[in-house]
Amino acid sequence: MKRVLGNIWSDCFPMDSTQACVTTVYTSVVEDLTRNKQHRFIIVDQEFFRLWWDGVASAKQKVQVHELVAQRRLEFVLGGQVMHDEAVTHVDDQILQLTEGHGFLYETFGIQPQFSWQVYSFGASTTTPTLFALAGFSGHIISRIDYDLKVTMQQKQLGWCCLLESPKGLAQTCTHEGFFFQDQRMDEMFTPSDMPVIKDNIQMYTKKLLNNTWEQFIWFQIGHVLWPWHGPSDELHQQPHTQDWCLLGVRHTDYFQAIHSTHISWHIRNHHNLLPYSSDMVHSETGFYASRSGLKGLAQRASALLYAGESMFTCFMLAPHRFLDRAWGLQQLQKLRWAVSEVQHHHTITGTHTPKVRDMFVEHLGAGMQGVCKLMASIIQDRCLCAGPEPGGHFAMVYHPLAWTVTTIVTLTADFPEVNLTDETGNPVPAQVQNSKETPSAYDLLVLTTIPGFSYRYYVIRPMRRAQKDTQETGASVDSTKQFGRRPRTNRRQAGRRPVHVENDCYTVYLDKDTNLMHSIWERQSNRTIQVTQEFMEYHDNSDEGQVSISNNYVFAPNGTAKPVSAAVKMEILEGQLLTEIRRCFYRTVNDRDPTYTIYSQLACGPPGADGELLCHRIEQEYRVGPLELNHEAIWRTSTHLNTTQVLYSDNNGYQMQRRAYKQYMVNTLTRDRQSRLVLLSEQVHGVSSQGNGQMEDFFHRQLLIKQQWALSVNVTLNDTSVVHSVLWLLLGPSTLTRDLGQRSGVALQHRPVVLIRELSETTRVHPDFQQQEAVMLPPSLHLQILSIPGWTYNLNHTKHLQNLQKVFLLVSIEQLTDWKSA
């Protein structure tokens, strides 16, 4: 007998329905389950349930929830703070949001979810099921896979994929009232607002449900199909069964137990993921890699700051502090953990949400980051300062959040060009001063520093006194500047005839004075020169309703190849003792006052040996893009003469490098030939593709006016006029070099030192008895992952924790009984 196993579930989307989810859904669920013993319910995301639990639920309702969980009629599936996106969310943030939700469930109920349900993510990665397996999950359900894998599924090779798409590759979307099958004929379409599931039409819905499931039974080796149902379950289950099928209301546990009892095995799938997701031949859902790029960057920076704050708090909380309230400090970390976890939702980090929701998440992230910065400042506030004779200036603390030593250049800010910089011992520090990229009236103070793991360095920045100038006392060096005027695009036919070069101990970069663009890079270890050109370009998107495929928040659908957009390029080279910086501005027209695109490239001169190899073997590129013209997408194209055959290797959520061809994926990424590798490491998630031999395109930003009615009705158009900025690191060399340095460099880019600066409002100096804290040192190949922070109140002994929960449960039950008798 074939069986359709249906489940009733809740996944409150973080759109404009927050209050409704919190105040209505869970209250009504608890009431229904308490009244109807035959009903079952599953909860996926924890964010809205936690808001209901902490702010709405009464003591009586909490007792009822404990009872329902114990009876297994209320089941928590997945259990993360949100249902993260598998294509975009970094593995560190997947772990963060999963442990955040699971920590609450274990502390509150003493349970750990056993099954996952990733039904809305835009594609299926290999990172997520690997993580879930490590977390102790017994089963994993996905929904969206590429349309061209349907043939494989119909050959019964993907029997583990339980929630499917229709045979013709049309996505099936489930609403809270019933099914809506996209792209059906109008006479077959029923939407929640037009025709919710009620007693009068339940037979029609049941027939449609059975027809669809029957078509897909043949795809499986087993006689069970799990199907979500958002309508009245009683009426559905009352429909008569036949010898061929029956309908059962089940939990995920029941479904997997039914599969397990069949003792059927499947072929093991290879390590490749199911990305990107394409619903049909002309709809490749890769646009979200660049949708709301600014929010993606903010979320990444918030995640990195949270990691730094948690590691500092954990390392130094045991020491006495005059200025630190530990309970307050823990609260700051928990606020940012909440904000970073919630933004990983598959309709948030992907940029497929409304501007109103974007603003809410930006506010949460900003407030959380501000609190953690205050916490870190409080931790170090009283550790090393006392009164001294020196006037004015600034005090800077640089904290290194990784568990191995790093040598790098950090940027401080000064209001004066003639600077005297000293460390915590009072000794002068190598530094370089140049005009600020951010503020014309300020100066960037570049400092070479070496910091052990989980440690920090102090610096005092003071203006150089007249007496110091007279005695020629050493201060920060001032760079020399070479200006290259705007070069029009018409000059590019003469490219390469007048090169200018900049260099460090690892690379020599050649630039073309006729175009102000990069021409080639010589790499010292392989003694090989690679032709490398880089340029901002734009795709123009299809936005006309008459087109076969239209670009929107999800879909990238250009109407042709990318075109150069700059009519002129201006270049400035700043050379100093620590690094050389190449500043290039790209202007849409020759007479534009402000550039549309800017890229700052740096070659650092680090110390010799192992301490400086990460610093030397990278070309840092910081870009600023926008605002764009409407219906345009901005890319940064890197072209080389490497024979790559359009093959890329990119990581999977910062976890696993995989071979790709042509399509867009998130970076970090590399391309190669038999001799050399070109590696691009990214500070944040964005897309990358290869449209030609030896090429890589990085997708930075997009601005769309989506005219589709569904987008206009819920205001998810991407008329994004923001300026986005982020950082890339470019590595070039033989595979042995880039393989060893690539992964470490990627982690170092993600977790750069945190700089905190404050004014010296009174004469201040570093305490003469200053002692550097003990460093935490791991081998450079290891990255210390912080899975939890102090704050959860459960007993580490599982048996004792359950006993403590039972005591609390009984106490609350007695109080409820007393109140009932009094009433």
Mean pLDDT of 102-120: 90
Residue 164 lies in a domain: yes
* R_g of the chain, CA atoms, integer Å: 29
Least confident range from 133-147, 234-248, 372-386, 596-610: namely: 234-248
What proportion of the chain, given as a percentage, has pLDDT over 90? Answer: 41
Per-residue model confidence (pLDDT) at position 230: 62
**Does one domain contain both 363 and 469?**
no
Distance between CA atoms of residues 213 and 494, nearest Å: 64
Residue 631 lies in a domain: yes
pLDDT of 15 above 70 = no
pLDDT of 349 above 50 = yes
Per-residue model confidence (pLDDT) at position 180: 29
Mean pLDDT of 661-680: 74
Residue 813 lies in a domain: no
**Does one domain contain both 305 and 351?**
yes
Amino acid at site 27: T
**Does one domain contain both 472 and 484?**
no
pLDDT of 659 above 90 = no
Instruction: Write down which residue in 208, 237, 268 finishes a domain.
Output: 268
Q: The domain containing residue 240 runs over which residues?
A: 2-268
The more confidently predicted of residues 347 and 212 is 347
Global pTM reads 0.89
**Does one domain contain both 471 and 496?**
no
Distance between CA atoms of residues 681 and 295, nearest Å: 19
Per-residue model confidence (pLDDT) at position 395: 86
Query: Which CATH number goes with the domain that contains 373?
Result: 1.20.1270.50
Q: What counts of helices (H) and strands (E) characterise the chain?
A: 18, 41
User: Helix, strand or coil for residue 820?
Assistant: helix
Instruction: Write down which residue in 321, 353, 381 finishes a domain.
Output: 381
Per-residue model confidence (pLDDT) at position 181: 30
Assign residue 194 a region (left: φ > 0; alpha: ψ between -120 and 50; beta: otherwise). Answer: alpha
**Does one domain contain both 657 and 618?**
yes
pLDDT of 104 above 50 = yes
pLDDT of 276 above 60 = yes
Q: What total number of domains does the chain contain?
A: 4
pLDDT classification of 190: cutoffs 50, 70, 90: very low
**Does one domain contain both 168 and 195?**
yes
Per-residue model confidence (pLDDT) at position 211: 77
Helix axis angle for 798-822 and 59-70, nearest 10°, is: 130
**Does one domain contain both 434 and 559?**
no
The gap from C-alpha 219 to its chain's centroid, in whole angstroms, comes to: 35
Q: What is the largest CA-CA distance in the chain?
A: 101
Could you tell me if 679 and 738 are in contact, meaning their C-beta atoms sit under 8 angstroms apart? yes
Assign residue 502 a region (left: φ > 0; alpha: ψ between -120 and 50; beta: otherwise). Answer: beta
**Does one domain contain both 244 and 103?**
yes
Least confident range from 138-152, 547-561, 629-643, 678-692: namely: 138-152
Residue 185 lies in a domain: yes
Q: Which two tokens stand for residue 9?
A: 């579930």
Give, in degrees to the nearest 5, the angle at Cα 599 between 595 and 602: 145
Could you tell me if 447 and 431 are in contact, meaning their C-beta atoms sit under 8 angstroms apart? yes
pLDDT classification of 183: cutoffs 50, 70, 90: very low
402-446 pLDDT, tens per residue? 999 999 999 998 888 888 888 888 889 889 999 888 888 889 999
Residue 593 lies in a domain: yes
Residue 793 lies in a domain: no
The gap from C-alpha 388 to its chain's centroid, in whole angstroms, comes to: 45
CB atoms under 10 Å from CB of 702, counted, come to 30
297-320 pLDDT, tens per residue? 999 999 999 999 999 998 877 677
Per-residue model confidence (pLDDT) at position 375: 94
**Does one domain contain both 323 and 446?**
no
Per-residue model confidence (pLDDT) at position 810: 78
pLDDT of 388 above 80 = no
Average pLDDT value over all residues in the chain? 81
**Does one domain contain both 373 and 403?**
no
Distance between CA atoms of residues 217 and 65, nearest Å: 35
pLDDT classification of 493: cutoffs 50, 70, 90: low
CB atoms under 10 Å from CB of 525, counted, come to 12
459-482 pLDDT, tens per residue? 988 888 754 555 445 566 777 899
Q: Where are the alpha helices (H) located in 135-251, listed in sequence order?
A: 150-154, 202-217, 233-237
pLDDT of 119 above 60 = yes
Per-residue model confidence (pLDDT) at position 172: 25
164-177 pLDDT, tens per residue? 232 222 222 222 22
Residue 755 lies in a domain: no
Instruction: Write down which residue in 360, 381, 402 finishes a domain.
Output: 381
Residue 419 lies in a domain: yes
Per-residue model confidence (pLDDT) at position 387: 42
**Does one domain contain both 732 and 646?**
yes
**Does one domain contain both 458 and 536?**
no
Could you tell me if 254 and 200 are in contact, meaning their C-beta atoms sit under 8 angstroms apart? no
pLDDT of 185 above 50 = no
705-747 pLDDT, tens per residue? 887 777 777 777 888 999 999 999 999 999 888 888 988 999 9
The more confidently predicted of residues 383 and 8 is 383
Query: Which CATH number goes with the domain that contains 400?
Result: 2.60.40.1180
2-11 pLDDT, tens per residue? 444 444 545 5
Query: Given the DSSP bridges, would you call strands 619-625 and 568-575 parallel, antiparallel or unpaired?
Result: unpaired
445-465 pLDDT, tens per residue? 999 999 999 998 989 888 887
Query: Which CATH number goes with the domain that contains 228?
Result: 3.20.110.10
